[in-house]
Amino acid sequence: DRVRSALLAAVGHDLRRPLAAATAAVTTLRQRDLALSEEDRESLLETAEDSLGGLASLVTNLLDVSRVEAGVLAVSLAPTELDDVVPPALDELGLGPADVELDIAEGLPPLLADGVLLQRVLVNLLGNALRFSPADRRPVIAASEFGGSVQLRVIDHGPGIPGERREAVFVPFQRLGDTDNDTGIGLGLALSKGFVEGMGGTLEAEDTPGGGLTMVVALPAATGPQAGQRTTEDGRSA
C-alpha cells in the first residue's frame, strides 16, 4: 500500500510536470497569430524535446523497476572492460577529467557483467555523488580486485547518509540521497541495486573516510568458466 501510494503521488507530479511543459511549448508553437522569433522557437522546441526525453526516461525507469521486482529483468552477461563502461558514463553526464577523479588499478581483469546495465548503474551512482559533493571536492571512481571480484567504488565527500537510513535509499520512491538524475522520483538507487544483483553482484553503501558516502559495486571477475555464460529474462543460465 505504501509503494502504491508513493507511485500515485509520483505519477501525479513527476509525470505531469514534463507533460505540461511539452504541451505548453507545442501549443505556443502552433499559434499562428503569435509572432515568435527564431530564438523563441528554438527555445520552445528545446523545452519540448527535453521534457519528452525526461518523460521517456521516467517511464523506462518505472518499467524497469517493475521488471526488477517481478524478477524478469533481461540480463546478458559477458566479459566487460571498465574502459568500455566508465568513459561512456562520463560522456552521458557531460563530464570531463576536471570533474571526476579516476583511481583505476592497473591490470584489472574484465568483469562478468551486462555492459549496458553497468553503465546505467554508474550514471545513477555518479549523478548522485556529483549532486551531493561540495564544490571543492571531486567525486572519485575507484576500482580494484578483491577475492575474485572487481569492486567499483563511487566516492563522494558530501553529507553522507545515516546508517539507519542506508537500506531505505535502495527502496523505490525514497528521495533521500536518490533523485534519479532529473526526474526526482527516487528510482535511481533502487534500479542500480536491482541491476547489480541481476548481474550476480552486490551494491552496498559505506561511509567515506573523512565524511561522505561511498557506493561499492562488486561483480565477479570474468576469469572462470562462467565468463561465457549469459542469462535469460527469468535469470536462468543459457
With a cut of 50, say whether residue 38 has pLDDT above it. Answer: yes
State how beta strands 78-80 and 101-104 pair. unpaired
* pTM metric for this prediction: 0.67
User: Domain with 62 in it: what CATH number?
Assistant: 1.10.287.130
Note whether 43 and 115 are same-domain residues: no
Note whether 60 and 172 are same-domain residues: no
Exposed / middle / buried, residue 225 (Cβ in 10 Å: 0-12, 13-18, 19+): exposed
Is residue 134 included in any domain, yes or no? Answer: yes
Domain count, the chain: 2
| pLDDT level of residue 191 (50, 70, 90 thresholds) | confident
Is residue 235 included in any domain, yes or no? Answer: no
Average pLDDT over the chain reads 79
Q: Which of 50, 70, 90 is the last residue of a domain?
A: 70
Average pLDDT over residues 167-182: 54
Note whether 118 and 199 are same-domain residues: yes
| pLDDT level of residue 12 (50, 70, 90 thresholds) | low
Angle at 173 between CA 75 and CA 143, to 5 degrees: 50
Among 25-34, 48-57, 86-95, 122-131, the range scoring the smallest mean pLDDT is: 48-57
Q: What's the pLDDT score for residue 201? A: 93
Q: What's the pLDDT score for residue 13? A: 60
Note whether 93 and 204 are same-domain residues: yes
Note whether 44 and 97 are same-domain residues: no
Is residue 234 included in any domain, yes or no? Answer: no
Note whether 59 and 87 are same-domain residues: no
Q: Which of 70, 87, 102 is the last residue of a domain?
A: 70
Domain that holds residue 155: 78-228
Note whether 117 and 23 are same-domain residues: no
C-alpha cell at 20: 505540461
With a cut of 50, say whether residue 195 has pLDDT above it. Answer: yes
Is residue 236 included in any domain, yes or no? Answer: no
| pLDDT level of residue 181 (50, 70, 90 thresholds) | very low
Average pLDDT over residues 13-37: 85
Question: Cβ atoms within 10 A of the Cβ of 44, count?
Answer: 19
With a cut of 60, say whether residue 200 has pLDDT above it. Answer: yes
User: Domain with 93 in it: what CATH number?
Assistant: 3.30.565.10
Query: CA-CA distance, 156 to 141, in Å (whole number)?
Result: 9
Note whether 18 and 134 are same-domain residues: no
Note whether 39 and 155 are same-domain residues: no
User: pLDDT tens digits for 125-172?
Assistant: 998 899 888 888 999 999 999 888 999 999 999 888 776 666 667 665
Evaluate the CA torsion angle 98, 100, 105, 110 in order and state its sign.
Answer: negative
Is residue 86 included in any domain, yes or no? Answer: yes
Query: CA-CA distance, 173 to 156, in Å (whole number)?
Result: 22
Note whether 158 and 118 are same-domain residues: yes
Is residue 23 included in any domain, yes or no? Answer: yes
